Amino acid sequence: MDNRAEVRDFLTSRRSRLTPEQAGLTLYGSNRRVKGLRREEVAVLADVSTDYYTRLERGNLSGVSESVLDSLATALQLDESERVHLFDLARAANAGNRRRRTPVKEQLRPGIQRILDSLSAPAYVRNNRLDLLGVNALGRALLTDLYDGGTTHPNLARYLFLDDRSRDFYADWTRVAKDVVASLRLQAGHTPSDRGLTDLVGELSTRSEEFRTWWAGHTVRLHRTSTKQMHHPVIGDIELTGEALELPGDTGLTIITYTVEPGTPSAEALQFLSSWAASEPAPSSTHETTS
């Protein structure tokens, strides 16, 4: 991905969403022809010259210091996810052609699969491209659409944007889909040389207008926990809270596990799902990989 274009579009979009009132600036006159802050106003807030900020917004983060990045993030009122993204973009710019490609895990260690199998909750392991590399029986039963047809390593983003069943499965499909776009955008800043991610974004941008539109918004988000309402084809409605647990020994891999509040209809639905999963034939194991 083009780092300079990413930097330019990200900073421009963050500047345009922030009004002078939100930034605590005093307005003199009402003849403003720009949406959001002017470049010189951001420069004042970040305590840099207008020329220097203009250079940054044109996509040149080479040599920028962490203190300047901190000041810029504060001036633009970036949240935690956006601040992480800005620093990732700066690291990529300063590494240049020397930046090494961060390996994207394609296989799951047997020990991690055993952890999944020991959990009494639906769980899976995904990489940062949202490929599901491992799943337990209850997780497979919950995400039955993704494994329909014997797919070994389904991709959550492809399911959301290219499989119409996802719109029935997720009660709040739009929110979930936007979160996925924001997660992929954050990862694109962290590993811009990941060819598999670039190919995925290109495919989804070509085949989904919604993905293409939301991708252009440069929204980023850290995905650690969320509550989702799902409509399962067998058990009906269920509300689950997902928790993301990164695996320190397997860079780029995250365990996602879902829990329910005890004594609720969702807890009963999950118990029914467990019984249904136990009655289904176990799939054959495989170590096949996908990109």
Render pLDDT for 202-253 as a digit per residue (tens, 0 to 9): 999 999 999 999 999 999 998 889 999 999 999 999 999 999 999 988 888 9
Ranking 5-9, 97-101, 115-119, 154-158 by mean pLDDT, the lowest is 97-101
The verdict on 12 and 75 lying in the same domain is yes
Q: Return the exposure string of 138-165: e unless at least 16 CB atoms fall within 10 Å of the residue's CB, then b.
A: bbbbbbbbbbeeeeebbbbbbbbbeeee
Co-location of 145 and 275 in the same domain: yes
Claim to verify: residue 207 and residue 272 sit in the same structural domain: yes
Co-location of 232 and 118 in the same domain:
yes
Mean pLDDT value across residues 3-7: 92
Q: Is residue 144 part of a domain?
A: yes
Q: Which of 98, 126, 160 is the last residue of a domain?
A: 98
Top pLDDT among 222 and 291 is at 222
* Residue % of the chain over a pLDDT of 90: 76
- Determine the pLDDT at residue 2: 82
Dihedral angle, C-alpha 216, 220, 225, 228, nearest 10 °: -10
Question: Which domain CATH number covers 19?
Answer: 1.10.260.40
* Helix, strand, or coil (residue 266): helix
Residue 39 maps to a domain: yes
287 occurs within a structural domain: no
- Of the three residues 52, 78, 98, the one that is the final residue of a domain is 98
State pTM to two decimals: 0.87
- In this predicted structure, what is the pLDDT of residue 289? 38
Indicate if 8 and 114 belong to the same structural domain: no
Residues spanned by the domain of 169: 110-279
Residues 93 and 115 in one domain: no
Same domain, 37 and 152: no
Asked if residue 286 belongs to a domain, the reply is no
**Selection from 218, 192, 198 nearest residue 96 by Cα:** 192
142 falls within a domain? yes
Report yes or no on 284 lying in a domain: no
Are residue 128 and residue 266 in the same domain, yes or no? yes
Q: Domain tally for the chain?
A: 2
How many angstroms separate the CA atoms of 161 and 60, rounded? 33
Reported as a single tens digit per residue, the pLDDT across 39-51 is 999 999 999 999 9
Range 31-38, long-range pairs (CB < 8 A, 24+ positions): none
Which 3 state secondary structure label does DSSP give 90? Answer: helix
Condensed to tens digits (0 to 9), the pLDDT of residues 154-186 reads 999 999 999 999 999 999 999 999 999 999 999
- pLDDT band at residue 280 using 50, 70 and 90 as cut-offs: confident
Is residue 288 included in any domain, yes or no? no
Residues 55 and 152 in one domain: no
Task: Answer yes or no: do 163 and 243 share one domain.
Answer: yes
pLDDT digits (tens, 9 = 90+) for 52-89: 999 999 999 999 999 999 999 999 999 999 999 999 99
- Residue at a domain's end among 68, 98, 128: 98
Residues 272 and 159 both lie in one domain: yes
pLDDT at 103: 52
For residue 288, pLDDT beyond 80:
no
Q: Same structural domain for residues 86 and 122?
A: no
Closest CA to 182 of 143, 130, 146, 258: 130
Q: Is residue 216 part of a domain?
A: yes
- What number is the average pLDDT over the span 247-274? 94
**pLDDT at position 286 over 90:** no
